[in-house]
Amino acid sequence: MIATWIRKLLPALSMCFAAMSASAWPTQPVTLVVPYTPGTGIDIVARQLAARLPAALGQPVTVENLAGASGNIGSEKVARAKPDGHTLLVQVNTLVMNKSLFKTLSYDPVADFEPITLTSWGTLLLVANPNVQPAATVSDVVGAAKAKPGQLTYATPGVGTPHHLAMALLLQRTGTDMLHVPYKGTAGAVTDLLGGRIDFMFLPMHVALPQIQAGKLKAIAAGSPKRLSQLPDVPTLAEAKVPDNVDLWYGVLAPKGTPADIVNRINQEIGKILKHPEVAQAFASQGMVPETSTPGEFGALIARDAQRWAEVVKKGNITAE
């Protein structure tokens, strides 16, 4: 009878211990590592969280920007951090792209993290200089590229960036070819696109929208699953018979081995924050839409995305090194 009583008691004891573990966390300040410079979209996400998490956690929350190596410096720091929930990574989907782009990483961008939650989605728009003819639709672009293989140009902020892989995916899916012109950052690429020295580019919605509204760029397709409220007349890639989207996801991760109860607690607290209207407004300024997920859902998304971009990188023979 004693053994039966103990067996019945064990599940309750396990739940108690898990609750005690989560309630004891955090015991010190929490650091949100952003592997990019201040002012970027992912930095905006981190600072919105850092401003509101202390009220729920009872500890200070700071943002540490560790830019460099396409996000690998900051990401590696978190991968090597103690898995106790006090050092977290705020990242964009370049994390999974880097797994295929870099051949000599000292950490695994996918296996070395515990997914916590999505925070938001951002949209990339396929845009063209208005003088490119014909370029009103994706079909126009595909037809022009097939008529002049390798002669039309597209710009990116650099090799292996989301902008680059988005275009590589589009060209692979449509069997077309264009000349890739990589820049060191977005500003120079946009300047040449506006000046007519470049034909096409994928740009984040918040960067492209003012130029589209001013008539300086032509919107061809949205990389999102659904049409954008800001540009309701612009079709999605899927509507243009390209069976994919190239949205950017943003999310929070912890070092591998972080206890599940701590991961779930962080997930719940971030989920509450993402419901704030002020947060949605701050995200909108960067072309992002808040969205939460369970840790499992985020993990499944990461796995799917890692496979998809690995295929694009391999087929395009793309390397960031």
Q: CA triplet 95, 246, 312: central angle to 5 degrees?
A: 70
Max avg pLDDT among 17-26, 86-95, 243-252: 86-95
- Span 144-164, pLDDT tens digits: 999 999 999 999 999 999 999
pLDDT score recorded for residue 24: 87
pLDDT score recorded for residue 233: 94
On the question of pLDDT at 231 being above 60, the answer is yes
End-to-end CA gap in the chain = 65
Q: pLDDT grade, residue 112 (50/70/90)? A: very high
pLDDT score recorded for residue 281: 93
DSSP character at residue 240: T
pLDDT score recorded for residue 172: 95
> How large is the average pLDDT for residues 136-144?
92
Asked if 166 and 247 touch (Cβ cutoff 8 Å), the reply is no
DSSP character at residue 223: S
| Higher per-residue confidence, 81 vs 41 | 81
CA distance 247 to 173: 16
Query: Phi, psi (5° rounding) for residue 289?
Result: -120, 125
pLDDT score recorded for residue 240: 87
On the question of pLDDT at 12 being above 90, the answer is no
Lowest mean pLDDT segment, chosen from 49-58, 160-169, 243-252, 309-318:
243-252
> How large is the average pLDDT for residues 160-177?
95
**% the chain with pLDDT above 90:** 81
On the question of pLDDT at 13 being above 90, the answer is no
The domains found in the chain, sorted by start residue, are 29-122+248-316 (3.40.190.150), 124-222 (3.40.190.10)
CA distance 321 to 319: 6
- Span 114-135, pLDDT tens digits: 999 999 999 999 999 999 988 8
Instruction: At 202, list the tokens.
Output: 């994928």
Give residues with Cβ within 8 angstroms of 207, minimum separation 6: 186, 190, 287
- 3-state class of 247 per DSSP? coil
- Span 192-227, pLDDT tens digits: 999 999 999 999 998 999 999 999 999 999 998 888
pLDDT score recorded for residue 16: 44
Strand 200-204 to 113-122 pairing: unpaired
On the question of pLDDT at 36 being above 80, the answer is yes
| Higher per-residue confidence, 320 vs 71 | 71
Rounded to the nearest 5 percent, the helix, strand and coil shares of the chain are 45, 20, 35
On the question of pLDDT at 88 being above 60, the answer is yes
The amino acid that residue 75 corresponds to is: S
Among the residues of the chain, which ranges form H helices? 2-24, 41-57, 72-79, 94-101, 138-147, 162-174, 186-194, 205-213, 260-273, 277-284, 295-316
Q: pLDDT grade, residue 271 (50/70/90)? A: very high
- 3-state class of 15 per DSSP? helix
pLDDT score recorded for residue 244: 81
| Higher per-residue confidence, 286 vs 262 | 262
pLDDT score recorded for residue 8: 53
